Structure 1
Amino acid sequence: METKKSYWIYQIIGWSLYFFSDLLNYFTIFSFDFDEFNKLIGNLIVNVAAGISLTHIFRIIFKRYHWIKLPVTQLIIRCAAVVAIITFVLAAINIPMDRDIINTEKMNWALRDISYLINLTKPVLIWVLLYVFYNVANLRKNDAVERVQLESSIKETEAKILRAQMNPHFIFNALNSIRALITEDPKKAMSGITQLSNLLRSSLVSHRRTTVSLKEEIKTIQDYLSLEKIRYEERLQIKWDIAKETEGIQVPPMMLQTLVENAIKHGVQKALRWGFIEISSHLEGQTLLIIIRNTGKLEGTDSKSSSGGFGLENTKRRLHLLYGNKSEFRIFQENHLTVNAEIRIPLDHQ
């Protein structure tokens, strides 16, 4: 509505200023009596109305038939034809009106008509060029907005798909842990079912949320490790070092749980005697640093290279989707028995 209002204001002011300035030129060249002055004012009103009407008709045609989407050559040809038509119509209106005031009959008719066409072509051409350029700029702006919205939608869809890809693997491991306890220790199996219920609830919520607080994510990991602790008993040693000020910071849901699951599968599970998992978090300036250390070796890589394994590539992609290049994920061999995974999340995205 605001754009439409501005359009009509510019139309009235623009054409009024042009034809008023044209009227002033007449006063510098000719002298008029009162009746002729009234006729000039009448001519001014007719010209303003004609200019507004003709250009508005062009606008209607331009929008209805989507000229903005035409190839450049076709657009130029059609706009040139419109400029010629509007100019001829305005000239046809002005020549008869001016005849009685400035006695154009004494002029050479060819020179007179050419003079009118040249003078009237300028404002019409400027109007058409401004309108076309405005629409081109507006189209590019809208296309840019649509591209951003589309990219955002694609990223959100991709992030949801990545979260969905983690769930089957996680459920499979959790069910295996409980299945091993059903005959050996029913009470522990019941406790495990409660833990699994909490995990499934967290998993379901993760599909509807882009991020959760670190405190919620830690609770999910605790439920998961409780299940694995039942399975591995003393073979699994767990250490926590979560800074209080980091608990409210938002992180991608189920991401850390996937890394812990990966640490169990590729580290603790393969340890000959026992293995450990150490999870810590603290702030480094405007960055949240989360470290997951575990027993294990990166297979098929040197000590400083990234490792494969379930969920690692997804973790990189999810971080990139949410935080771009400001986030960082790396996993490396800290020493011959310890793997270190580090995640850096910028606080300015919170």
Structure 2
Amino acid sequence: MLPPMKRAHYYWLLQVLGWSAIALFTALFINQFSPLSTIYFPLAAWCGATGLLLSEAWHRLCRRRQARGQALAWPAALVATVVLGTVQAASNLAMDQLISGGGWNSAPPGWIMMLLLFWSGIMLAWNVAYMAALSLRRNQRLEAEALLLEAETLRLEVLAKDAELRALQSQVNPHFFFNSLNSVRALMYEDRDNAANMIDQLATLMRYTLMSTFTDCVPLAQELGAVRAYLAIEQIRFEERLRARFEIEAGMEGVTIPPMSLQTLVENAVKYGVEPRSAGSEIRIIARQDGAGAVIEVANQGVLRANPGATRVGLSNARKRLELAKGGQASLDLSEHEGWVRATLRFPLAA
């Protein structure tokens, strides 16, 4: 895809070289019939000059047609080939007769037919080369436009993905703080010191949430810090009914996850595992590597059953944010086995 000035430069360079080569060929051809004669070299120069002028005239006409939106088609190129070849042959014959001093009837019919075929073939070759150049330029332009369109589509997809992530995250934060404030309110009438401690932990959570609002993913270590602050709040509320256990494999702290995704699972474990059970529940938070993927699990004692009052908005939200941030291979599954309910995050480490 050369700029117009550069294209014009190469066009004229090829024109001059091409028609000069044809003029040289014509001179050598004539010399085969009239050795040691120089009278026909002006004829060869004339053939090259008129060929360049005729092809340039056709080139300008083609450009005018293109400016009007009329593409150069093969029928028009073939008609131009015959017309240009005939004009060039007639010009060649006229100059030949002028130089030799013969009359118009002195040229044999076979020679005239040979001239017509030769110059029509030259003009056909010129048109084929010109149309090939136009086709190549058009294909390059279409490829460039396709690449630009693809880049713009990808940019819009990224913007849409980012907007969806922000929208989903904005749904999580109010839900979480509403639950936390309810816990603070319930404790204020029982233990002010613990209520003050709970407010401190809530401030830590708010700070983390505000800092992570404008990022797609955060290191697991940061998310675990927020989870510990949340569990400290709920520990004040549930006391010995809430027991937390962390099993974080070495090296997993740097793995990134969508902010508040682990927090959402821990909230659900407290809500459906600790709160409804008089004996409470242990909550296990496990992070490990599984081959080329990461597995993060939140488990609580209980039974996985349909709850008429549960909207599962939090889980659905977390699942969508995980897929948007980590790709289609990421998953969030709920399962029950031997009295334990497990919420399991899986995603490729390379994501």
Q: Is the 8 A contact 1:242 1:282 kept in 2?
A: yes
Q: CA deviation at 1:281?
A: 1.1
Q: For residue 224 of structure 1, what is the amino acid of its counterpart?
A: Y
Q: Whole-Å Cα distance in 2 between the matches of residues 288 and 309 of structure 1?
A: 24
Q: Whole-Å Cα distance in 1 between the matches of residues 16 and 326 of structure 2?
A: 53
2:342 equivalent to 1:318: no
Q: CA deviation at 1:163?
A: 1.2
Q: Whole-Å Cα distance in 2 between the matches of residues 320 and 46 of structure 1?
A: 65
2:146 equivalent to 1:146: no
Partner of 2:232: 226
Partner of 2:250: 244
Q: 1:338 to 1:233 in 2, by over 3 A?
A: same
Q: Is the 8 A contact 1:271 1:295 kept in 2?
A: no
Q: CA deviation at 1:279?
A: 0.5
Partner of 2:84: 91
Q: Is the 8 A contact 2:246 2:284 kept in 1?
A: yes
Q: CA deviation at 1:242?
A: 1.3
Q: For residue 343 of structure 1, what is the amino acid of its counterpart?
A: L
Q: 1:2 to 1:128 in 2, by over 3 A?
A: closer
Q: CA deviation at 1:278?
A: 0.7
Pick aligned residue for 1:254 from 246, 249, 260: 260
2:301 equivalent to 1:329: no
Partner of 2:141: 135
Aligned-partner SS, 1:298: coil
Q: For residue 200 of structure 1, what is the amino acid of its counterpart?
A: M
Q: Whole-Å Cα distance in 2 between the matches of residues 141 and 121 of structure 1?
A: 30
Aligned-partner SS, 1:135: helix
Q: CA deviation at 1:245?
A: 0.9
Aligned-partner SS, 2:313: coil
Pick aligned residue for 1:121 from 98, 120, 127: 127
Q: Select between 271-280 and 325-334 the one with higher mean Cα deviation.
A: 325-334
2:218 equivalent to 1:212: yes
Pick aligned residue for 1:80 from 73, 76, 92: 73
Q: CA deviation at 1:244?
A: 3.0
Q: Is the 8 A contact 1:18 1:123 kept in 2?
A: no
Query: What CA deviation, in whole Å up to 9, does each residue of 1:87-143 have, x standing for no partner?
Result: 58x9399738756655697648xx689767645432333233323333333333333
Of structures 1 and 2, the larger Rg is shown by 2
Aligned-partner SS, 2:259: coil
Q: 1:115 to 1:194 in 2, by over 3 A?
A: same
Q: CA deviation at 1:233?
A: 1.4
Q: For residue 341 of structure 1, what is the amino acid of its counterpart?
A: A
% identity of equivalent residues: 27
Q: Whole-Å Cα distance in 1 between the matches of residues 4 and 221 of structure 2?
A: 51
Q: Is the 8 A contact 1:12 1:52 kept in 2?
A: no
Q: CA deviation at 1:174?
A: 1.0
Aligned-partner SS, 1:208: coil
Q: Is the 8 A contact 2:322 2:330 kept in 1?
A: yes
Q: Whole-Å Cα distance in 2 between the matches of residues 103 and 170 of structure 1?
A: 101
Pick aligned residue for 1:196 from 199, 202, 224: 202
Partner of 2:280: 274
Q: 1:294 to 1:118 in 2, by over 3 A?
A: same
Q: 1:131 to 1:225 in 2, by over 3 A?
A: same
2:186 equivalent to 1:184: no
Q: CA deviation at 1:198?
A: 1.8
Q: 1:18 to 1:226 in 2, by over 3 A?
A: farther
Over aligned residue pairs, what C-alpha RMSD do you find? 4.0
Query: What CA deviation, in whole Å up to 9, does each residue of 1:36-82 have, x standing for no partner?
Result: 454455457657866776666677x3xxx8x7xxxxxxxxx644299
Given the two structures, how large is their TM-score scaled by the length of structure 1? 0.76
Q: Whole-Å Cα distance in 1 between the matches of residues 346 and 121 of structure 2?
A: 72
Q: Is the 8 A contact 2:295 2:344 kept in 1?
A: yes
Give structure 2 stretches of 5+ with no counterpart.
Answer: 32-37, 99-103
2:42 equivalent to 1:35: yes
Partner of 2:101: none
Q: Whole-Å Cα distance in 1 between the matches of residues 46 and 86 of structure 2?
A: 14
Given the two structures, how large is their TM-score scaled by the length of structure 2? 0.76
Aligned-partner SS, 1:342: strand
Q: Whole-Å Cα distance in 2 between the matches of residues 102 and 218 of structure 1?
A: 96
Q: 1:176 to 1:28 in 2, by over 3 A?
A: farther
Partner of 1:347: 349
Partner of 1:72: none
Q: Select between 219-228 and 28-37 the one with higher mean Cα deviation.
A: 28-37
Partner of 1:338: 340
Q: 1:159 to 1:82 in 2, by over 3 A?
A: farther
Q: 1:19 to 1:317 in 2, by over 3 A?
A: farther
Aligned-partner SS, 2:275: helix
Q: For residue 335 of structure 2, what is the amino acid of its counterpart?
A: F
Q: Whole-Å Cα distance in 2 between the matches of residues 176 and 46 of structure 1?
A: 90
Q: 1:148 to 1:97 in 2, by over 3 A?
A: farther
Partner of 1:70: none
Q: CA deviation at 1:224?
A: 1.3
